[in-house]
Chain A
Amino acid sequence: MPRWGMVIDLDRCIGCGACVVACQAENNVPINTEDVYHQRRAIAWIRLERYWEGEFPNIKARYIPVPCMQCTNAPCEPVCPVYATYHTNEGINMQVYNRCIGTRYCAVNCHWHVRFFNFWEPKWPDSLKNQLNPDVTVRSRGVMEKCNFCVHRIVKAEQKAKVEKRELRTDEVTTACAQACPTNAIVFGDLDDPNSAVSKLLAQAEHEGRVYRLLEDLGTDPKVYYLKKVDIEAAAEPAAAH
């Protein structure tokens, strides 16, 4: 049984936003107009966030892609009264759109803010209606949605493997964001398979001491790992400056 996970190397990330666009296209995420964005109701299963590091004048703008962390002990799961969000045995935190009644408690209890609510009826321009992905449900107004590690791709690959009577091959399946990333900053794979790209990358980065997870100390055990940016300037600065 695979345990899906993701590694995002911030040293490679150039903040181009290809992952956001790929996800948008893959998962039938509605088009975020400027209006919706300013209302803070834009839906982006993986989003590029900017933050500032350091004190003026040595201040640096940083960006970080934030998908769902797929927490092992996800805080969003036990608070749903109707089991609309649950854990698959492959470790993916799933959302059942048809069961969601819209209490939004999961979003209140998600501290990475990766759960998105359909405040409005999702709409696409007519020219885009034919390019919706048939493998992914089109959500309606009033339900929660979130990144699910492109579960339809995983299911498809697993079915194919089953038909061909074989095990799923290492790194046979990847998510849309990882596939679209021009610098290979996002890597997706099975954390339990020592030969997978994620495991190798993690083992190496662990050695360099670059691995961290967002809000790790909350104890939810996220399955999205970040690799620290290697900041040559900061490393060059003497430690005595602090």
Chain B
Amino acid sequence: MQERHRLGEEEITRELFRPLVTTTPMMWVGFIGLGAVLAIFVFAVSWMFYWGLGVTGLQRPNMWGFMIVNFVFWIGISHAGVMISAILRLTQAEWRRPVTRAAEVMTIFSLMTAMLHPVIHTGRPWRTLYWVFPYDFWRNLWPDVRGPLVWDPSAILTYLTGSTLFLYTTMIPDMALARDRTTGWRRVLYTILALGWRGNERQWKMQTIAGFLLSGLILPVFVSVHSIVSWDFAVSLVPTWHATVFAPYFVIGAIHSGVSAVVTLMALMRWLFRFDHYIRLEHFDAIGRLLIAVGTGWLWFFLLDIFFAIYPQEARELEIMQFRLFQWPFNVLTALIFIFGYFIPVPIWIFQRFRRNVKIMFWTSILVNVGMWAERYWLIKPGLMRKYELTFDWNWYRPSIVEVSIVLGSFALVGFLLLVFSKIFPPISVWEEKEGQHFAQQLQVGKRVVNAIVREF
């Protein structure tokens, strides 16, 4: 058993609040670098709004492109927060403590970034706002509830509301802690956010119950969101989209990329904020083991999707499958998805030595997300390029520099928001850390001293 550093309460508070008060040079590099990419993003989007969608690479058969692929990708990333915090909270997995906050925040920011995509992708978002918010009920014009584009924002907004509430509930005790230790505008902000938290027994009880209830309530939403996003594709008649396996396939793919993104975030937090005492190697170990299961589940569904295309022997489905498995450039893309999404990372995660190596975990998690982005592209684009046998309508899709900037900018946007968040709020849940310290005990088992979590119910 490895040595565990016992931390005092005061030490935990001081260390976890450190990013709020000190800005390290690396954080400045992050702010400036991400800010620069973000400026390009804003410029690209404005350029697109001004000139019209003509500046993208979209054309007649390829009406959906990079922006929709990126939308699905970010929805996928957003699944990590709930996966990590709700499920692990309900199962009382101890290793969740340092990662819950970051995962939940990532959920919210990636969800917001994802929602931005379908809106800007219409080219004239003010019209979407005009027709949809507030809806034109007084003229008896209702949204078409048969369409997945109505289900989709409903599901995503429910998820956003739920996960924001969930995050906020877990943040209240920390806000009170921050309120008591700050002055100036921060004190005003934290006072408002702490909602008069005094830390008495009744408040703790209510906070705990609310946390559990919200994790329970959010789980069905978490399954439904990506199912509904998959129905954006599955209810259409496009070959290879029109598949019943899409809903669970998208959910498992989302968990795969989302949990990997949490690993990326953990490594970054360790390096940026020097949280070595909190995000420990055993956390990487635990999340690595989870990823083996999730990754293998994803591979199973990936193969199922191919199998379900072959099994009915439908000529058109087979045509597109053949196109995207064996024809350039999709054959390379398929190989890339297989190798990056599974065959490099999972065998590495099998070894504990590698799971406990932060650098290796960081790079494998990046690889998974490169593979998962490619997988979304692979799922969405080939079917659109060669929908049916009307060959005169086939065409390739070549994204323009504007779309590429939007995709890169979306990564910068999430990163930037996360950095800003960690300047204002503690990126690791302070009270959960302390609670963990209370539960942790050292037990004498034979001749060895073992770290254990003891709970009484």
A39 touching B54 in the complex, CB below 8 Å, given contacts A79-B147, A107-B63, A112-B390: yes
Contact of A79 among B122, B149, B390, B393 (CB under 8 A): B149
Q: Known: A108-B236, A119-B52. Is A81-B149 also a contact (CB below 8 A)?
A: yes
- A119 contacts B54, CB within 8 Å? yes
Q: List, in ascending order, chain A residues with CB within 8 A of B56's CB.
A: 119
Residue pair B63, A101 in contact (C-beta under 8 Å): no
Task: Check: B359 CB closer than 8 A to any chain A CB.
Answer: no
Q: Which of A82, A111, A142, A214 contacts B143 (CB 8 A)?
A: A82
Asked whether A196 is an interface residue with its Cβ less than 8 Å from the other chain, the reply is no
Chain A window 191-233, contacts with chain B (Cβ cutoff 8 Å), 1 for yes, 0 for no: 0000000000000000000000011001000000000000000
Residues of chain A lying within 8 A (CB to CB) of residue B58: 104, 117, 119
Docked pose: A79 CA to B141 CA in angstroms? 16
Q: Which residues from B are CB-within-8-Å of A215?
A: 388-390
Please, how many angstroms separate the alpha-carbon atoms of A79 and B393 in the complex?
21
C-alpha spacing A81/B142, complex, angstroms: 9
Q: Does B64 contact A (CB under 8 A)?
A: yes
In this assembly, does A102 line the interface, its C-beta being within 8 Å of a C-beta of chain B? yes
User: Within 8 Å CB of B59, what residues of A?
Assistant: 39-41, 119
The answer on a CB contact under 8 Å between B124 and A81 is no
Looking at the complex, which one of A39, A117, A141 makes contact with B63 (CB distance below 8 Å)?
A117
Identify which of A40, A81, A99, A117 contacts B53 (C-beta below 8 A): A117
Report Cα–Cα, A7/B43, bound state, in Å.
Answer: 49
Q: Which of A50, A79, A82, A116 has the most CB of B within 10 A?
A: A82
> Does B127 touch A at the CB level, under 8 Å?
yes
Measured as residues with beta carbon below 8 angstroms from the partner, the interface class of chain A is: 35 or more
**Which residues of the other chain, B, contact A51 by a CB distance below 8 angstroms?**
390-392
Q: Is A156 an interface residue (CB 8 A)?
A: no
* A164 lies within 8 A of chain B by Cβ: no
| Chain A residues with CB under 8 A of B393 | 49, 112-113
Expressed in whole angstroms, the minimum distance between the Cβ of B14 and any Cβ of chain A is 50
Contact with B along A117-129 (1 / 0, CB 8 A): 1111100000000
Are the CB atoms of B237 and A218 closer together than 8 Å?
yes
Supposing A49-B392, A102-B124, A142-B124 touch, asked if A111 and B60 sit within 8 A by C-beta, the answer is no
Size range of the interface on B?
35 or more
The complex places the Cα of A206 from the Cα of B388 at a distance, in Å, of 26
B297 at the interface (CB under 8 A from A): no
B173 interfacial contact with A, CB 8 Å: no
Per-residue interface assignment for chain B, residues 126 to 166, with 1 indicating a CB less than 8 Å from any chain A CB and 0 otherwise:
01100110000000011110111110000000000000000
Can you name the residue of chain B whose Cβ is closest to the Cβ of A218?
Answer: B237
Residues from chain B with Cβ under 8 Å of A111 in the complex:
237-238, 387-388, 390
- Within the complex, which residue of A75, A81, A100, A118 is in contact with B237, where a contact is CB–CB below 8 Å? A75
Q: Is B118 an interface residue (CB 8 A)?
A: yes
Does A159 have its Cβ within 8 Å of any Cβ on chain B? no
Residue B148 contacts which of A40, A79, A120 (CB distance < 8 angstroms)? A79
CB distance from A6 to the nearest CB of B (A): 18
The docked-state distance in angstroms from the alpha carbon of A118 to that of B131 is 19
Q: How far is the CA of A107 from the CA of B387 in the complex (A)?
A: 12
Output the nearest chain B residue to A43 by Cβ-Cβ distance: B60
**Cβ contact within 8 Å between B127 and A142:** yes
The 8 closest A-B pairs by CB, nearest first: A40-B59, A102-B122, A81-B149, A119-B54, A104-B63, A78-B146, A142-B124, A49-B392
